[in-house]
Structure 1
Amino acid sequence: MYLKCFFYIVFVFCSFCFKLYAQNNVVGCVNNVEKKGVPYVTVRLLYTDSILVKGTVTDSLGTFSLSNVQAGHYLLSFSSIGYKGKFYPIVMENKSLNLSPITLETDNIQLDGVTVTGSSFIRKKDYVLIIPDKQQVKHASNGYDVLYNLMIPGLTVDKRKGTVTAFAGEVTLYIDGEKATNRDVQNLRPQDIKDVEYYDVPSGKYANDIAAINYITKKYKLGGYVSVNGKQMIGYLSGDYNFSSKLVHNNTSYMLSGGYSNRKYKNNIEEEQETFYLPGGTVCRDTKLEGSRYRNDQQYALLKVNNRTDKRLLSGEMSFVRDYTPENENHTSLDYHAERVRSERWQKQENLQPSVTLHANFNLPKKQLLEFSLGGMYSDNKYQRSYWENADKSFTSVREDMYTFSFSGNYVIPFKQNNSLNIYALHHHEVTSSLYSGDYDSWQHLWYGESLLFTTYQHRINPKISLIVRPGVSLLNYRLHEHDLQQFASLRFNTMFRYQINQANQLVSYVNIGNTAPDIEYLNNVDQTIDFLQIQRGNPNIGNTKIYNGGVVFNSQYKKLNVQLNSDYMLFTDNVFFH
């Protein structure tokens, strides 16, 4: 059993100041006629002659706060696209003021044909609809840039890495309701983005995600485009060049894209001290990396076909990826305290990966949804490694063929009050054949399959409190050639409780039970030399690693001061992966 426990407090200070006098705040909540919070409402504090004092916007639950308001008579102005504006008079004394809920009535305006001069946030029943403005689209080159320019509260967009994260973890990205890859978002033209849907508390088909972004693209009946973009870094060689083309005819679209990227650098300098506790005694070694060379090239090509109607979406995708590393070498000085030697490590690696994916999405009556995905992939992997210490040499060569198949289905049943029930099933299957030569000659064949079944129920108790419960089961089977079949049944369980205390404070608690299975890197019967003190040895009888995790997170913001308190506990059994 391997135990891991974390408890940490993170303080992020931008700049702050302390005031010695009492602070009188105006705190309130804006609801619609259904008594649900309306987010991103513009709130302005005005003098009675309509001169602006200060302003703010409501958070995702409709709450707002105005700080340091002096005594006097004021007007509060509330405005949001899709709602009728409202003025509310207040009298401020020398104490904070907690307002009764403010109700905004729906304004049934049509947005089609309206010129939007600023990005608009419109709260729908279960998501936030965001309309990018012209400047946000103009100063963007792909889907990540548009998302970054929108500055959605609570989201962090890393344009360089191509990641989007929310408070609780990574955000899943979709394009027109279909799950998107990093390349899909990078090749998405800003001028083709009509709206962006942000599911901060996901429900329905997105209930299995921590948070979700869905890009809604403009629909064309006939036409197409060709787009080219590139990026080259100066200092060390690193470039990324892509092209994409799209042709639309009625309900069918054809998209062809491809790209090339490369990285090349040399002469990294590193130092490391190691201590090895061996049966014959203790060995100390000081390692100094005196020089290195690295070069990597990647190419990809993708063809995607979509056919969409109001009732269903059918899509197919074929892709080919080549990842080639012809140079990866280190020149090192090793000091064993009694002897100094020189060592060299050289690696060469190549991966060819064709794949096919099919997806179907059916809109059923009563807003129910049925989804299926089917995918297959083949990987041709080649790996060579040489290691020298003075005149001693080690050599390993691996040729690996991997066949992967996966199938998933998702059935969504929506209920009232934005509650939903999801039934999700997945089967993943791999067959791997690896031929080792060099220091050790061996043939390894691994058969692996895992089936998962989840039921996710999301219940929104009120605008501030939501609960997600996700029980499930994992059935895992694998067998290494000439060894017995290993079978495991494991409970999967996830639950999350969210409480939005007010605009600036949030409390989240969670409990997770899961498992993870080894792959052929661990599950084998081969010895591979790392150096002449270390050998990586596989284990054909590795068990099923189980993971137990629970924690509480409190997030608070006061002006420019952000405070996060996080208590997290993790327990691993039969652990071979985590350190």
Structure 2
Amino acid sequence: MKQVIAFIIALLCALCALAQTEAPDSISTHELQEIVIQAPKVIRKADMDVYHPSKSAVENSKNGMQLLRNIMIPTLTVNDALGSISAAGQSVQVRINGRLATIEQVKALLPETIKRVEWIDNPGLRYNGANYVLNVIVANPTLGGSLMLQAKPALNQKWGYYQGDAKLNIGRAQWSVGGYFKLTDEIKAHREYEETFTYPNGTSLTRKETPLGGEIDNSQGAAWITYNYIKPDTTIFYVSLQANRNFSDKWQFNGLLNLSNGDDDIDLMDSSGRIGTTPSFSAYLEQHFAHKQTLVVDFSASMYAGHSYSDYVEKYPGSTHLINDIHTYIKDRNQAYGLEANYIKQWRASRFTAGVSYTANRNRSTYENLDGAVFHQRQDKAYFFAEYFHRINNVTLTGGIGAQYTSFLFKETNQGSHSWNLRPQAIATYSPHRNHQLRLSFTSWQSAPSLAETNIAPQQLDGFQWRIGNPNLKTSSSYMLSLRYSYNLPRISGSFGVRGFTSPNAITPYLYWDKDRLITSYENSKGLQNISFWFAPQIEAIPSWLVISGTIQYRAERMKGNTYKLYNHCWSGDVSAMVTHWGFTLGFQYVRAQRDLWGEKISWGEDISVIDLSYNWKNWEFSGGMILPFGKYDQGSRSLSKWNTNEMHMRLDMRMPYISISYNLQWGRQKRGAHKKINAEASVDTSTAGGR
């Protein structure tokens, strides 16, 4: 891997040198009669980077996701084949015209209607703790409609993605109806797993699992209908109704356990999954008043009805006698409601924003394996904030303060907690030139304990491992200080910087022995600290033909629990290349996932590669590609606990060739979508069963 990273660095440096010897052509020119207007590809603003899609990027895209991929924003990883967006190994909050959006809603956007993309790598208080924010601005004319269809099946697996969306514009209103289905069924998988248990008396037992096969299911879908009403500069109203269905979310691994104490080998089957439906409703109102004042109100609600389960079976080969036969079955009937209101006042060089939000979660879990025992949990969060932004020549300053109140309670035991937490923020930006920017920022946010972390119902994981939640957990606070330098040079742009993070009372899992049972529970630890250095360039290696983008990041971190102190350091990154000409687009992407230390475990996501070739013809796009053309799929973890050390690698048969057909039909002029500035949070909780 070090050789691959070294090669990427050498390649990017060579291309940088090449780019600087060529004539500048990163400026797009638009002619209007006798006036020539020039605008940079990326505009560095005090609180965001603004990207305007090029003509070729629009022409070679058939949906919003493909356009985001073709823009190739440095540090941003857009995987259209797998339907994911991330940045430097962290999640990205996606918005459309300011309102929170799903990947499927991004895919339903017409590329021609996307006017600009706002990349916010240091979100303010009103984004409520997001790592990054990607805001797609859609501004369309007022009449017409559109129909968008896409099918992307794999050729050798039961895997595929299918979506349709139709929009109809009537005067100031727009109706939209659509749906998607993602198929992942019986994908072959296996697990490489070895663990050592150390007992309090110093003795130990090692179990090595020889994989005997397995499979992964993850089929899901959704349907939605939305309504927009826009009276320019006066009123915006938006309402949506959506239903999500998790048809089958299951993984199963079979293996042969070899024990270090000399006992006979053991056959095992380890399986868990979840099935459920989540209907949701959202309503939004934005009202503009005189003197550049705006009041925005958002309401959302969601419900979840479903179940999660886990099955763990051990037996001797060739025998029908079961050594362990463990089954967990949890029915959830959970609800979530959110309400948020913001007041915004703007002046020529400044902006003031104040807001309040309230979120309520009401959870009801029935444990069928515990004779139908019922547990009720209620959680309430209230958040208040005020933020002021001011520009003075080349310097802009942003300061704000927020306060969050969190309370949760288990009805059956009357156990729970409540707390107040402050959330300060400050950002200073210096832009001596439109092509250079230096930003220093300090942000903070809170993380409330989840249903799984606080639920006191005991769950058995295998022959002697159990999981029990902790109802006495407190809301944790996180703080981040970052320094970033961004640049635009002829045919090269990007950023590099350093980021420091601390969470002094992070909620993390920990292990302890209770007689002959090894318990996994949760605690407010003594803190996680890390520091990251990153470099993210984008290079137009061959004008109008070849663009290369990449990110390389080094991260060092320390985790302290009440009984341990652990360290971790790792390299991670990604590289993308795109060749575009004659209507063809050839894309390549490789991602090495970030290795994260959390509690007593290091975990990593997908190491993945994708190659894709597409051709655009009129309203059609035809493409084919392969997921994981080289390398080996790896997703896993490594436990560093003194009571249980283990390493797990999940391997999937992901070397999948696929084809894709997209069709876009447009008529008349397209209605502008609602520009939603805020979102009331109403994320419904779900239980988790199993989890060896």
TM-score (norm 2): 0.62
* Among candidates 215, 218, 223, match of residue 301 of structure 1: 223
Partner of 1:3: none
Q: Deviations over 1:499-536 (max 9, x none)?
A: 45778876543333332111221112211011113101
Distance 1:162 1:268 in 2: 20
Aligned pairs for 1:263-412 within 5 A: 263-280=184-201, 281-310=203-232, 311-325=234-248, 327-338=250-261, 339=263, 340-390=265-315, 391=322, 392-412=324-344
Distance change >3 Å, CA 348–CA 271, structure 1 → 2:
closer
How many correspondences in the alignment? 488
Aligned residue runs from structure 1 range 465-476, under 5 A: 465-476=395-406
Distance change >3 Å, CA 307–CA 457, structure 1 → 2: same
Separation in 1 of the partners of 2:146 and 2:458?
Answer: 53
Deviation of the 1:218 alpha carbon: 2.2
Kindly report which structure 2 residues correspond to 1:21-420, keeping only aligned pairs within 5 A, or say none: 54-55=23-24, 57=26, 81=30, 132=53, 134-151=55-72, 157-162=78-83, 173-193=94-114, 195-196=115-116, 198=118, 212-221=134-143, 223-280=144-201, 281-310=203-232, 311-325=234-248, 327-338=250-261, 339=263, 340-390=265-315, 391=322, 392-417=324-349, 419-420=350-351
Which amino acid is the alignment partner of residue 268 of structure 1?
A
Change (3 A) 1:276 1:439: farther
Give the AA of the match of 2:503. L
**Alpha-carbon contact 1:353-1:378 (below 8 Å) kept:** yes
Aligned: 1:477 with 2:400:
no
Structure 2's unaligned 5+ residue stretches are 316-321, 510-597, 600-692
The separation in 2 between residues aligned to 1:326 and 1:15, in whole angstroms, is 40
Inter-CA distance 273–476: structure 2 relative to 1 (3 Å threshold) = same
1:413-428 → structure 2 map (5 Å cutoff): 413-417=345-349, 419-428=350-359
Larger Rg: 1
Q: 1:127 to 1:295 in 2, by over 3 A?
A: closer
Following superposition, the deviation at residue 315 of structure 1 comes to 1.0
Aligned AA (1:54):
A
CA–CA distance in 2 between the matches of 1:224 and 1:252? 11
SS at match of 2:221: strand
8 Å CA contact 1:227–1:244 kept in 2: the answer is yes
Counterpart-to-counterpart distance in 2, 1:199 and 1:227? 26
Whole-Å separation in 1 of the counterparts to 2:397 and 2:391? 6
- What do residues 205-240 of structure 1 show as CA deviations (whole Å, max 9, x unaligned)? 98878555332332233x433322111123433211
Cα deviations by residue, 1:299-343 (Å, 9 ceiling, x for unpaired): 211010111111111011001111022753210122221222121
Q: How far is the alpha carbon of 1:349 from its aligned partner?
A: 2.0
> Post-superposition shift, 1:435?
0.6
Question: Which amino acid is the alignment partner of residue 312 of structure 1?
Answer: T
> CA separation of 1:514/1:173 partners in 2, compared to 1, >3 Å: closer, same or farther?
closer
Distance 1:318-1:268 versus aligned 2 partners, 3 A rule: same
Q: Matched residues in 2 for 1:148 and 1:176: separation?
A: 18
Amino acid at match of 1:220: T
1:71 aligned partner: none
Distance across 1 between alignment mates of 2:164 and 2:276: 22
Q: In structure 2, what is the Cα distance between the partners aligned to 1:296 and 1:201?
A: 31
Instruction: Describe the SS at the equivalent of 1:54.
Output: coil
Cα distance in 2 between the residues matched to 1:125 and 1:56: 25
Structure 2 residue aligned with 1:34: none
Q: Which runs of 5+ in 1 are unaligned?
A: 1-9, 24-43, 46-52, 59-78, 86-106
Residue matched to 1:38: none
Which deviates further from its counterpart, 296-305 or 440-449? 440-449
> What is the letter of the counterpart of residue 362 of structure 2?
V
In structure 2, distance between residues paired with 1:561 and 1:306: 37
Residues 557, 563 of structure 1: 8 Å contact kept:
no
Conservation of the 8 A alpha-carbon contact between 1:165 and 1:171: yes
Residues 121 and 513 of structure 1, relative CA distance in 2, 3 Å threshold: closer
Separation (CA, whole Å) in 1 of partners of 2:118 and 2:494:
23
Alpha-carbon distance in structure 1 between the residues aligned to 2:496 and 2:50: 28
SS in 2 for 1:518: coil
Percent of pairs with identical residues: 18
Task: Answer yes or no: is the 8 Å Cα contact 2:191–2:253 preserved in 1.
Answer: no
Q: Against the structure 1 CA distance between its residues 303 and 211, is the aligned structure 2 distance closer, same or farther, given a 3 Å change threshold?
A: closer
Q: Distance in 1 between matches of 2:310 and 2:119?
A: 47
Shift of 1:268: 2.4
- Aligned partners of 1:476 and 1:489 also within 8 Å: yes
* Mapped partners of 1:530, 1:303: distance in 2: 41
1:521-555 CA distances to partner (integer Å, 9 max, x unpaired)? 11122110111131011222222223343344567
Q: Secondary structure at the match of 1:13?
A: helix
Summarize deviations over 1:144-163 as a string: whole Å, max 9, x none: 22233345567554434555
Separation (CA, whole Å) in 2 of partners of 1:217 and 1:562 = 27
User: Contact 1:360–1:373 (CA<8 Å) still a contact in 2?
Assistant: yes
| 3-state SS in 1 of match to 2:105 | helix
Secondary structure of the structure 1 residue equivalent to 2:67: helix
Q: Structure 2: how far apart are the matches of 1:176 and 1:350? A: 32
| Aligned alpha-carbon RMSD (Å) | 4.0
Please give the alpha-carbon distance, in whole angstroms, between the structure 2 residues aligned to 1:496 and 1:329: 47
Measure the CA separation in 2 of the matches of 1:381 and 1:317.
Answer: 22
Residue pair 1:226, 1:245 contacting (<8 A) in 2 also: yes
CA distance in 2, matches of 1:81, 1:476: 52
| Aligned equivalent of 1:431 | 362
Provide closer, same or farther for how the CA distance between residues 231 and 119 of structure 1 changes in structure 2, counting only shifts above 3 A.
Answer: farther
Partners of 1:347 and 1:270 lie apart in 2 by 14
Instruction: Note the alpha carbon deviations across 1:363-395, whole angstroms, 9 max, x for none.
Output: 222332221110111101212221111112111
TM-score by structure 1 length? 0.73
Give the conservation status (yes or no) of the 8 Å contact 2:401–2:423.
Answer: yes
Q: Deviations over 1:121-166 (max 9, x none)?
A: 7899998876655543332111122233345567554434555567
Helix, strand or coil for the counterpart of 2:291?
Answer: helix
Matched with 2:525 is none
**Residues 349, 427 of structure 1: CA spacing in aligned structure 2 closer, same or farther, 3 A cutoff?**
same
Check conservation: 1:13, 1:560, Cα contact below 8 A.
no
Change in Cα spacing, 1:533 to 1:289, as seen in structure 2 (3 Å) is farther
* Aligned counterparts, 1:411-560, within 5 A: 411-417=343-349, 419-438=350-369, 442-463=373-394, 465-481=395-411, 482-499=413-430, 507-553=438-484
Distance 2:308 2:175 in 1: 36
Give the counterpart letter for 1:253 in structure 2: Q
In structure 2, distance between residues paired with 1:164 and 1:462: 35
Q: Is the 8 A contact 1:230 1:239 kept in 2?
A: yes
Q: Secondary structure at the match of 2:68?
A: helix
SS at match of 1:188: coil
